[in-house]
Structure 1
Amino acid sequence: MALAVYQNNFTDKAAQKWQVKRLSSHIGAVVKGVELHKPLSVSDIASLRGLLLQHQVLFFRDQEITPRQHRDLGLAFGSLHRHPVYPTVPDVPEAIVLDTAQNDLKDNALWHTDVTFSETPPMGAILVARHLPEIGGDTLWASGTAAYDALSEPMKVHLDNLTALHDFTRSFPLSRFGRTEEERRRWAEIRNSHLPVEHPVIRVHPETGQKAIFVNEGFTTEICDIDAEESAALLAFLFRHMARPEFHMRWSWRAGDVAFWDNRITQHYATDDYRPSRRIMHRITILGDKPFGPADKPVL
């Protein structure tokens, strides 16, 4: 109850100061009246945290924000992750560049949660649109909590006690990222420092206590301690279940747009429907904590 009161206090203050418009029943809201290029007050940071907990992904239109301001915005919410694969903005190594003219971004065009191959996957991420195609290039977000709530009670009980492996190589295979000897050497170094990790199939949100499905097509390879055929069938079901449109919202990007999502309980999908046009996005990723499930105690 204390958490709910805390969250409501700050979301109520935000509602008085900003315009907040929900985008779907389960996920997404547009926040108007925030200037993200300026330093945020302690109260503003707390209000945005409260809105993020409530809506899972927030959108801001008409923002003019430099890469350094983008980094500083992320730092207001925690320490920042440096991605082992993607190129970064010059002089801002925390800001990764997702540019279809420079990188093969197949790993973004499927349902995924960012960097779950880490022992401590990111808390959240902030994405800024830098160059957009005339048509296409939308991003979809899915609510892992809504997807979990829609499961049958027997399935919830079953999943609550399972764990799964998440593997860096599923989205970053050698076949795509090892075309030269130097690329193969670097890929091997990254793989050896990011061995497969085990996470609960159902994650408990560390701030709200909500349960969410925490397997994704981008990085989850198998469910632990069950037969391989059972694992494949169960993962296929969960991936299809997460793809149901009832749990989604879709964002059509415009110049100046910024998105901020809770990576702990959401998945997203960058539609690859604009080739040969170019699309450039910058992402700042905020470090998170070790996931725990319904049968676990949180690691403090």
Structure 2
Amino acid sequence: MSTLVSAKLSNLVIRPVAGRIGAEVTGLRLSGDLDLPIIDAIRQALYRFKVLFFRDQEHLDESGQEAFGKLFGNLVSHPTIPSLQGTQHVLDVNGAEARASSWHTDVTFVDAYPQISILRALVIPQFGGDTVWANTAAAYQSLTPPLRELADNLWALHSNRSEYAGYRPTGKPEPLKRYYEVFTSTVYETQHPLVRVHPVTGERTLVLGYFVQKILGVSSADSAHLFALFQGHVTRLENTVRWRWSVGDVAMWDNRATQHSAIDDYGDQPRILRRVTVAGDVPISVDGKPSRLHRKFSFPPPEIATAEREATDSLHNR
């Protein structure tokens, strides 16, 4: 290891900011040309603390954010929302359009959802607009043995068709309507195990959040109760960390072991962030079964479209 790299590592400080999740990293200027030992140190800290926070990164622009993200794998665009103009993979997160104020793991409505998300703050409200993350590995560990056994054997259907899923992004009616139409322009329904095995750490993590449409194999009432039970363990305060944003902050999280929620408490103040995501893997259940895409379609669903056509044909044939 060169003297320069050793010096950079010695300047790196990783300080926990909560008991079970989250650490602030200082002494580092993020870029796309970090040395391998630095990248490895970030990666190991990410697996340990689940979410990392970097202050004072105002030098980063969209291309710099993409370059930094590529150090950790191939970037992947959002499956339905177009990337920010002039970029390949940057998602514009603008509170004037929609506010993801429900707990979720990014993009679990597809099978191989992102492994890492990186969010950069451009415009931050004078007050409010914090983001909270939860440790889904710690949540699993907090379960009693009977509840772990139950969770290990459950599967859930995830979908971006949020009027069914219970996912309620908030915002002004007209921009939200336009956003929702784009967000659900292609509907995904994917079956995930309630518990996945993290491919790097070996930890068992709960795969929940408000993209869940239903728990499979049980009644609707039981599904709601089971979801509330296990989701409640995820969001227990001791499993969470809350971050007060400043312009230039960057948050980076292990999307295979966390949920997050953007707090909608900032009224009409502007809030703009930019996100890139690193391509993930298909979750594997505790008994070795992979997640599977159930179906993918343009709205309305095929069965409704067919019924509407048949009704129209019947009317015309009278």
Q: What TM-score does the superposition give when structure 1 sets the normalisation length?
A: 0.86
The one of 158, 177, 198 aligned to 2:191: 198
Cα deviations by residue, 1:56-77 (Å, 9 ceiling, x for unpaired): 0001010120100001111111
Per the alignment, residue 298 of structure 2 pairs with none
The one of 12, 34, 42 aligned to 1:18: 12
| Greater displacement, 59-68 / 75-84 | 75-84
- SS of corresponding position for 1:159: helix
Per the alignment, residue 127 of structure 2 pairs with 135
Partners of 1:235 and 1:14 lie apart in 2 by 45
Q: What residue identity is the alignment partner of 2:16?
A: R
Q: Contact conserved, 2:112 with 2:280, CA < 8 A, in 1?
A: yes
Q: Where do 1:118-267 residues align within 5 Å?
A: 118-170=110-162, 171=167, 189-191=185-187, 194=188, 196-217=189-210, 219-267=211-259
Q: What residue identity is the alignment partner of 1:190?
A: T
- SS of corresponding position for 1:45: helix
Per the alignment, residue 53 of structure 1 pairs with 47
The answer to whether structure 1 residue 39 and structure 2 residue 19 are counterparts is no
Partners of 2:177 and 2:127 lie apart in 1 by 31
Deviation at 1:37? Answer: 2.8
- SS of corresponding position for 1:88: coil
Rate the CA distance shift 1:142–1:190 in 2: closer, same or farther, 3 A: same
| Greater displacement, 238-247 / 118-127 | 238-247
Structure 1 vs Structure 2: percent identity of aligned residues?
36
Partners of 2:198 and 2:126 lie apart in 1 by 37
Deviation at 1:298? Answer: 6.7
Q: Contact conserved, 2:158 with 2:213, CA < 8 A, in 1?
A: yes
Coordinate RMSD, CA, aligned: 2.5
Q: Contact conserved, 2:142 with 2:233, CA < 8 A, in 1?
A: no
Deviation at 1:17? Answer: 4.2
Partners of 1:165 and 1:177 lie apart in 2 by 28
Q: Contact conserved, 1:86 with 1:97, CA < 8 A, in 2?
A: no
Q: Contact conserved, 2:32 with 2:67, CA < 8 A, in 1?
A: no
Q: What TM-score does the superposition give when structure 2 sets the normalisation length?
A: 0.81
Per the alignment, residue 104 of structure 1 pairs with 98
Q: What residue identity is the alignment partner of 1:271?
A: I
- SS of corresponding position for 1:147: helix
- SS of corresponding position for 1:229: helix
Cα deviations by residue, 1:208-264 (Å, 9 ceiling, x for unpaired): 1001111112x0111111222211110111222222101001100111100000000
Partners of 1:75 and 1:132 lie apart in 2 by 26
Per the alignment, residue 279 of structure 1 pairs with 271
Q: Rg bigger for which structure?
A: 2
Q: Contact conserved, 2:116 with 2:280, CA < 8 A, in 1?
A: yes
Cα deviations by residue, 1:159-195 (Å, 9 ceiling, x for unpaired): 111111101112489x988957x985x666512xx2x
Partners of 1:283 and 1:21 lie apart in 2 by 23
Structure 2: 5+ residue stretches without partners: 1-5, 292-318
Partners of 2:98 and 2:32 lie apart in 1 by 33
Q: What residue identity is the alignment partner of 2:151?
A: L
Partners of 2:39 and 2:31 lie apart in 1 by 13
Q: Contact conserved, 2:11 with 2:28, CA < 8 A, in 1?
A: no
Q: Contact conserved, 2:160 with 2:184, CA < 8 A, in 1?
A: no
Structure 1: 5+ residue stretches without partners: 1-11
Deviation at 1:84? Answer: 3.4
Rate the CA distance shift 1:48–1:135 in 2: closer, same or farther, 3 A: same
Deviation at 1:202? Answer: 0.8
Partners of 1:176 and 1:294 lie apart in 2 by 43
- SS of corresponding position for 2:284: coil
Partners of 1:65 and 1:33 lie apart in 2 by 15
Q: Contact conserved, 1:67 with 1:89, CA < 8 A, in 2?
A: no
The answer to whether structure 1 residue 77 and structure 2 residue 69 are counterparts is no
Q: Contact conserved, 1:124 with 1:286, CA < 8 A, in 2?
A: yes
Partners of 1:188 and 1:243 lie apart in 2 by 26
Partners of 2:290 and 2:176 lie apart in 1 by 38
